[in-house]
A and B are shown apart, each in its own frame.
Chain A
Amino acid sequence: QQPVQSPQAVILREGEDAVINCSSSKALYSVHWYRQKHGEAPVFLMILLKGGEQKGHEKISASFNEKKQQSSLYLTASQLSYSGTYFCGTGNQAGTALIFGKGTTLSVSS
């Protein structure tokens, strides 16, 4: 079952914050976050595991609510380089391949 991402698109000015959500109808073991710039491959940002802690570094962090089967990606004080499409990928069990959402397009302008 494909996870649902919201919003579909976000437009920001530099320095503004954004939250991207990812929800699943199935119990989750792991949630991954990736960023893909136009014409490039997706790049791994972070992974959150069932029973794990909130992860992040500096201005990008994420949370995982196992009970609600949801994850959120937090982008603080956005920079131009944050522009791109963000995908969450969910795994239902250890070792299963990720199912990706449709993506959230983030546009940051100066």
Chain B
Amino acid sequence: EAGVAQSPRYKIIEKRQSVAFWCNPISGHATLYWYQQILGQGPKLLIQFQNNGVVDDSQLPKDRFSAERLKGVDSTLKIQPAKLEDSAVYLCASSSIQGWGYTFGSGTRLTVV
């Protein structure tokens, strides 16, 4: 089966600019996650979707981050405006049953300068 697709692979922006990341999960996977991974650390959850509904966005910095999963398939994560500390790899993952093994995408490496 095709894996989790993410784009772009890399992005460099200046602080205060906006950026958007796209994710297409494995077909049929109802649960989709966005994680932020800062260099040398474990992934940190930003938001969890079940179909097109939000299950957990308690750690999403809502003053600058937003995410949507229209139609319960692909998803977009946006940052506006970006800060230097947002430099990280943004990982999208999906799972077929809530709580089972996650399949991660290759991630988007964001550098804010």
A residues whose Cβ falls under 8 Å from a Cβ of B = 2, 29-30, 32, 34, 40-44, 46-47, 87, 89, 91, 94-103
B36-51 near A? 1/0 per residue, CB < 8 Å: 0000111111001010
Question: Would B107 and A102 count as touching, CB distance under 8 A?
Answer: no
With an 8 Å Cβ cutoff, the count of chain B residues facing the other chain is: 23
Q: How far is the CA of A99 from the CA of B55 in the complex (A)?
A: 15
Q: Which residues of chain B have C-beta atoms less than 8 A from A34's C-beta?
A: 102
Q: Which of B1-35 contact A (CB under 8 A)?
A: 33, 35
B90–chain A nearest beta-carbon distance, Å: 11
Instruction: Across the interface, name the chain B residue whose C-beta is closest to A100.
Output: B42
B104 near A47 with CB under 8 A, answer: no
CB-contact partner of A95 in B42, B55, B91, under 8 A: B55
- Distance between A8 CB and nearest chain B CB, rounded to angstroms: 10
Q: How far is the CA of A100 from the CA of B102 in the complex (A)?
A: 12
Stretch at the interface among B63-71, B79-87, B93-101: B93-101
| Residue pair B106, A32 in contact (C-beta under 8 Å) | no
In the complex, the answer to whether B100 meets A100 with C-beta atoms within 8 Å is no
By the criterion CB–CB under 8 Å, are A102 and B99 in contact?
no
Q: Are B91 and A94 in contact (CB under 8 A)?
A: no
Cβ contact within 8 Å between B42 and A102: yes
Q: Is B76 an interface residue (CB 8 A)?
A: no
Instruction: Looking at the assembled complex, report how far the CB atom of A101 sits from the nearest CB atom of chain B, in whole angstroms.
Output: 5
Bound Cα distance from A34 to B104, whole angstroms: 10
Give the residue among A43, A89, A97, A102 with the most B Cβ atoms within 10 A.
A97
- Closest B residue to A2 by CB, please name it: B42
Say whether B111 faces chain A, with CB atoms less than 8 Å apart. no
Q: Which residues of A contact B101 (CB under 8 A)?
A: 32, 44, 46-47
CB of B52 within 8 Å of the partner chain: no
Instruction: Tell me if A87 and B42 are in contact (CB < 8 A).
Output: yes
Q: What are 19 A-B residue pairs whose CB atoms fall within 8 Å in the complex?
A: A2-B42, A34-B102, A41-B91, A41-B104, A41-B105, A41-B106, A42-B43, A42-B91, A44-B101, A44-B103, A46-B101, A47-B101, A95-B55, A97-B45, A97-B48, A98-B45, A100-B35, A102-B40, A103-B41
